[in-house]
Structure 1
Amino acid sequence: MEATAEVQQENGFHDETGSAKMHERLQKRHQARVEDAERRKEAKDSQSVAEEKGEYFSSAFNRERLSIEELLSSCPGAERAAVAQRLEEATARTGQLQKFLNDSVLFLTQYELRQAQQALQKLQASLAEAREEALPKKKFAFRTRTKAADKAAAPAPGLVPDLVSSDAGEHAGSVQVDGAAVSEQCGFSNMHGQVLTKTSDEIQKRDVLLTHLTHCKVRLLGSPSTLHLKHIDGCEILCGPVSSSVFVDHCRDSTLAFPCQQLRTHNTTDTQVYLHVTSRAIIEDCHGVGLAPFSWSYPQLEEDFTVSGLDRDRNNWSQVDDFNWLAAGTASPNWSVIPEVDRKTSWDP
């Protein structure tokens, strides 16, 4: 009897133990299902938020773009004063639209980003065309001039021909239209082996164009509105904070340094960029691009950062979108981070 009781007691113990283990397994399985369901829900919610942000961006961006286009279409036939005011408004709103795009790149898909950038480029081209049609540059007219006047009006060496004033008394980079100055781009063009400098007074809040430069050292001390670099070979170009975008095209064997809101780089090879950028940099058709944090300094740098409106504490220098490399999870072979030991630390002689 005692043996039977012991067996029953032992069987009961084993039954209880087995039941406890089964209960524990069921609890773990239930917990795993709950956690999996929560992860799925979070992923779905995150995707929904991203889609909602994308939809809001597309709607707001296209609405503002169409509004600016309507403003431009109202320029032909209007009085000159009204046209100038509308163009000024369109320019300011286009700049705000660029900023809206820059602030939205973190949640936009590659396709959405490219579509918006193409639309913005078309809008900027339309704005430039409208300005040219409504406020054309002063046409050249033959008149009797003295040799002294001809010498005074001659373009300064290295300045882009189209950017030189049509009147000897005006600064390079502006033209006279019915007695009123209309701001134009300024910069350097077709130079070789030169040391070139622009001061803050010359470039502040203006569009700067550097084109067809070889083996030149360029210092831009100030805060331009935009910076365009085209056909640059073997140069060192340093620039103060650019309030909007830097566009680089056909650059090779060069060193560049600048802070900006957005960087677009095309057809560039074997070039180092020391960068401060508040959005994500974009490269296309590039190879051998090296990136490092912006490290150039000059006495008025902090003041120019304030003028530019750039966030000093927000630098996405190593965040790059390569439009020729869309393989998720695999680093692009077209750009790399410059190792710290190889970074340039001394800029001026």
Structure 2
Amino acid sequence: MASTTDPKEKFYRHFRDSVEVLQDQIGQLNHLSSIGGERQEATDHILAGISKLQNEVADAAEFTPAYDRRQYSDAIKGLQDKLNETLAKVAPKSRFQFRRTGTDHVDMGAPENDPRLNPGSLSRRPHSPKSAPGAARSIAEEAQDTVGDLPSKGKDYNEELAKSDPSSIRKPSFSAAQSIGISDQTGLHIILPSSASRATAAGWLRDLKDCVIDLSIPTAQGAPFPGLILKNIDRCLIVAGRVNGPIHINDVSNSTLVVIARQVRIHDCKNVNIYLHCASHPIIEDCSGMRFAPLPSCYLTEADKSTENQWDQVDDFKWLKTTQSPNWTTLSEAQRLDDEVWTKIVPGQPGVSVEEILTKVGIPPK
């Protein structure tokens, strides 16, 4: 049996998990609206993920045999076909398609197919919206909105959040949406109420700074996210709620996260505390200063208690040595926040500012 520290075995598990995550993201596209570019942003994220996976197969060529690379190539081809089929259904007028050479199989480990040596290789690189006229960028312009429950004009919750408000805590209802997207906010304390439970078909948080955001209430009563994306976040406390599938955490720094998910993928993050309940090994890549702790007891359900929590079984895919990765560690019990912080400080109190909450959870001052 191969050791879990064997690079070939680690890459196999990484590839398998990546494919599952991308399949889940493709499956969510038909739940997203073209209004406001929601579907386009998700499509761009998937395109980038497939391209990245292709490059990773090439990077792993030195320790993966040709047979394995053929299986990886077939799996990536399946992802491309699934994305094409899904986009054709949600945006039938779109001209976007992955284009391939005439061969059914391309060895992505071969030098002639490696984009680092041959940047123009079409067999390795899908046509992106930036390089192909009439590609995925046209989806937002041409497709009809398929989210029937949204009002015709849609409600701009982010514009509403940005308006001045006498209350120190914002509680956007999201009652007129099927997905939750919070972006481009600074210095806000946002708590989603139970009315947002019908909007958890998909979710993402991006471009946030100095914020406290709690998504736990709408996902606690049997309405978890199928997947969640956190991107470009700095100096924030994020209580991410429950995620039945994968959570992608990208470009997060100087923050504290509370996460319950089936899969956790973390990229390009630094100086982050993560309180975690995860049913599989968390995966980090291109990260530093990551500190892990088990989920605070106040967020645990009876179902969670009966499920193994692999919060400290972290795989660093940029550290293939048998020694401990220097990019992550665990928080000792003395370093972890106690339940009183989670139950009394984090929900907010009259006169308590966002900056005070961030300080209480250990986020350094500006």
TM-score by length of 1: 0.52
Kept in 2, the 8 Å contact 1:158–1:188? The answer is no
Q: What is the identity percentage for the equivalent residue pairs of Structure 1 and Structure 2?
A: 27
Are residues 196 and 292 of structure 1, via their aligned partners in 2, closer, same or farther at CA, if it must alter by over 3 Å? same
Are residues 156 and 47 of structure 1, via their aligned partners in 2, closer, same or farther at CA, if it must alter by over 3 Å? closer
User: Aligned letter for 1:132?
Assistant: V
Are residues 122 and 278 of structure 1, via their aligned partners in 2, closer, same or farther at CA, if it must alter by over 3 Å? farther
- Residue 242 (structure 1) shift: 0.9
Name the SS of the counterpart of 1:202 in structure 2: helix
1:1-349 mapped onto 2 (5 Å cutoff): 46=1, 115=72, 119=76, 122=80, 125-126=83-84, 129-134=87-92, 136-138=143-145, 155-158=156-159, 171-174=175-178, 185-203=179-197, 205-220=200-215, 221=217, 222=219, 223-295=224-296, 297=298, 302=301, 312-328=306-322, 330-345=323-338, 346-347=341-342, 348-349=344-345
**Correspondence for 1:105:** none
- CA distance in 1 between counterparts of 2:264 and 2:296 reads 17
Q: Whose RCO is larger (CA < 8 A, sep 6+)?
A: 2
Are residues 188 and 316 of structure 1, via their aligned partners in 2, closer, same or farther at CA, if it must alter by over 3 Å? same
Are residues 216 and 201 of structure 1, via their aligned partners in 2, closer, same or farther at CA, if it must alter by over 3 Å? same
Aligned length: 215
- Residue 259 (structure 1) shift: 1.0
User: Aligned letter for 2:203?
Assistant: V
Residue ranges of structure 2 left out of the alignment (5+ in a row): 4-8, 28-62, 94-142, 162-173, 346-366
Name the SS of the counterpart of 1:325 in structure 2: coil
- Residue 127 (structure 1) shift: 6.0
- CA distance in 2 between counterparts of 1:201 and 1:192 reads 24
User: Aligned letter for 2:264?
Assistant: L
- CA distance in 1 between counterparts of 2:87 and 2:191 reads 30
Kept in 1, the 8 Å contact 2:175–2:195? The answer is no
TM-score by length of 2: 0.49
**Correspondence for 1:90:** none
Partner deviation per Cα, 1:79-133 (whole Å, 9 max, x = no partner)? xxxxxxxxxxxxxxxxxxxxxxxxxxxxxxx9779959x8486577446524432
Are residues 138 and 243 of structure 1, via their aligned partners in 2, closer, same or farther at CA, if it must alter by over 3 Å? closer
Kept in 1, the 8 Å contact 2:283–2:316? The answer is yes
Partner deviation per Cα, 1:126-180 (whole Å, 9 max, x = no partner)? 46524432493339xxxxxxxxx99x966233579xxxxxxxxx94434xxxxxx
Are residues 282 and 197 of structure 1, via their aligned partners in 2, closer, same or farther at CA, if it must alter by over 3 Å? same
Partner deviation per Cα, 1:16-47 (whole Å, 9 max, x = no partner)? xxxxxxxxxxxxxxxxxxxxxxxxxxxxxx45
Name the SS of the counterpart of 2:268 in structure 1: strand
**Greater helix content:** 1
User: Aligned letter for 2:268?
Assistant: N
Are residues 154 and 241 of structure 1, via their aligned partners in 2, closer, same or farther at CA, if it must alter by over 3 Å? closer
Are residues 122 and 293 of structure 1, via their aligned partners in 2, closer, same or farther at CA, if it must alter by over 3 Å? farther
Runs in 1 of length 4+ with deviation above 6 angstroms?
110-114
Residue ranges of structure 1 left out of the alignment (5+ in a row): 1-45, 49-53, 73-109, 140-148, 161-169, 175-184
User: Aligned letter for 1:313?
Assistant: T
